[in-house]
Structure 1
């Protein structure tokens, strides 16, 4: 399979992608909405969702399901990080599987966190680790989704500015897709224009009402983002409200397209 094939599976050209992350158990243990880790797939497969962000265990448990739903892409999370709730740089990041294994499992892309509120030596080690993953991804023609993030930080303007800087480092390390928390429409547009790498925007934790969520996603798409990574803002809501959010987001994502 080629890189172009997998990129188009992950980020279609005729619309913006809606990738639903359900990999939270790697760092959050048991959380509301994921008590049964494989439940969201059947629950949301026949909606506007274009794919899922998953753990190795979920990929293995749902092989038959996704064989029967080939229109859905699968993005495999290949790392974990502890502790996500602190700002003191005391966390620890490690890979939990390999790019070789991801290719063997037949997923469309792999995803890594790229935390930056860590020590200088840990930053160097993180960059080296990402570099090795990028090399393996290029060898196997499978995209890496890299997520610059200030772990445990509130969504302040200063944090958005810092994550924008780290997104540029992600580009220089060779990320094929960059996942970032929404930094505002203007900054998103600037990153899209300057980096020339597909940008996808994280929906974050359950927050705000439906109107606020949909408005932020509308800004994201106007700025040129290729997709939305939205999970808790859908599956942690009451079912009818989650369906409403997803329907409105789906309408927005179908109003945009991207050059072939």
Structure 2
């Protein structure tokens, strides 16, 4: 009973009253190093938090150096998997569990995140690790976000509909509370993902988009298809004025802004 209460309260911090969440992913430094605005943890966290996202997804190191910049109203999801960098062999990017749920709670986290690569040659090991983490999250009353990353010889692209659809449901089956995964490219397709998954599905941003309109259109379409929000990083902290990008995406998710309204907001604020 206590564990269920703990999860429920923490999920209320991650998701707004409308059932949607805007999570800014800031866990990239452990893999790609001090790229762009991530080079200065405290400064970029201050700027992102100023825009009022619902939560940030980050690492122990970022939290150590930037916790003073956090807003009490912004939830923290701590990534507890990793174990590889861009200097390593891409075929060995296995995303091992490198910290514990208990440790995340000691850091003050409202949720934890891990990655499962469905279709990977070591898929079974990913699933086994994730299942044990899910059990630990249940014991401690903390939500688990699983990043569903389709990869392997039978997966041509990570955003393939059937791969994402299967992966999202499989992650829910082993105890995830939130799914972070790829947008499949169309509203009809993504609606099949959300319809077949009994827990909230938020989309990741992936590589920085070619245009802001493309980014906003993807967000708008995912929401129309039953998505529960976004968990994006490079398209947010990599923007020249990340605090404005946060506000614009927040408008799309929580205020029902159109793509044109969000773009107009950005353009007018940038002119000041």
Rate the CA distance shift 1:90–1:57 in 2: closer, same or farther, 3 A. Answer: closer
**How far is the alpha carbon of 1:244 from its aligned partner?**
5.0
Structure 1's consecutive aligned runs of 4 or more residues displaced over 6 angstroms after TM superposition are 83-88, 152-155
Aligned position for 1:211: 213
Query: Is 1:159 aligned with 2:160?
Result: yes
Q: Distance in 1 between matches of 2:74 and 2:233?
A: 15
CA contact (8 A) 1:86 1:151 kept: no
- Give matches, 1:218-257, under 5 Å: 218-239=220-241, 242=242, 245-255=245-255
Q: Is the contact made by 2:205 and 2:231 (CA closer than 8 Å) also made in structure 1?
A: yes
Instruction: Give unmatched runs, 5+ long, in structure 1.
Output: none
Report how far residue 77 of structure 1 moved.
0.4
> What pairs with 1:37-186 in structure 2 (closer than 5 Å)?
37-66=41-70, 69-82=71-84, 89-119=91-121, 122-150=122-150, 156=157, 159-183=160-184, 184-186=186-188
TM-score (norm 2): 0.82
Please give the alpha-carbon distance, in whole angstroms, between the structure 2 residues aligned to 1:118 and 1:124: 8
- State the structure with bigger RCO (CA 8 A, min sep 6), 1 or 2: 1
- Alpha-carbon distance change, 6 to 34 in structure 1, aligned in 2, over 3 angstroms: same
TM-score by length of 1: 0.86
Structure 2: runs of 5 or more not aligned: 257-272
Secondary structure at the residue paired with 2:38? coil
- TM superposition shift of 1:28: 1.4
Distance in 2 between residues matched to 1:109 and 1:3, nearest whole Å: 9
Look up the SS of the partner of 1:97 in the other structure: coil
Q: Secondary structure at the match of 2:69?
A: helix
Name the CA shift for 1:155/1:13 in 2 (closer, same or farther; >3 Å). Answer: farther
The answer to whether the 8 A contact 2:80-2:114 is kept is yes
Counterpart Cα distance in 2 of 1:21 and 1:70: 17
**Any conservation in 2 of the 1:86–1:152 contact (CA below 8 Å)?**
no
C-alpha contact 2:120 2:151 (8 A) present in aligned 1: no
Q: How many residues align?
A: 250
Deviation at 1:205, TM superposition (A): 1.9
CA RMSD of aligned residues (A): 2.7
- Per-residue CA distance 1:82-103 (angstroms, 9 max, x = gap): 3679997433331121001111
| 86-95 or 8-17, larger mean C-alpha shift | 86-95
Deviation at 1:15, TM superposition (A): 5.9
